[in-house]
Amino acid sequence: MEEGFVRKNSKKKGAPVRCLSRPVKCICNDLYAPALQNLRQVARVHVFVQPSISRVVSRFEPGILHTVADF
């Protein structure tokens, strides 16, 4: 199967192969899972690191921190 194309629909024999014209975004927890091996070959992979707790807390407004502390 060529890159950027989908398989022919088996119900319509002889139908032309359609090209996918929009991006597909896939989010996964395990990049190296065997089921994703074929996808990794044609995909652009972006790795996001988990931010530290202090960085997340620094984004909160001061009023929110008091509300969370009172909870």
The answer to whether the beta carbons of residues 5 and 18 sit under 8 Å apart is yes
Report the pLDDT value the prediction gives residue 1, as an integer from 0 to 100.
Answer: 45
Instruction: Tell me if the pTM is above 0.85.
Output: no
3-state secondary structure of 16: coil
Residue type, 55: R
- Please list the pLDDT of the chain residue by residue as tens digits (71 residues): 445 555 555 566 666 777 777 888 888 888 889 998 888 888 888 888 888 988 887 877 666 666 655 55
Strand spans (E) along 1-71: none
Q: Which two tokens stand for residue 10?
A: 């088996």
Residue 7: partners with Cβ closer than 8 Å, 6 or more residues away: 1, 17
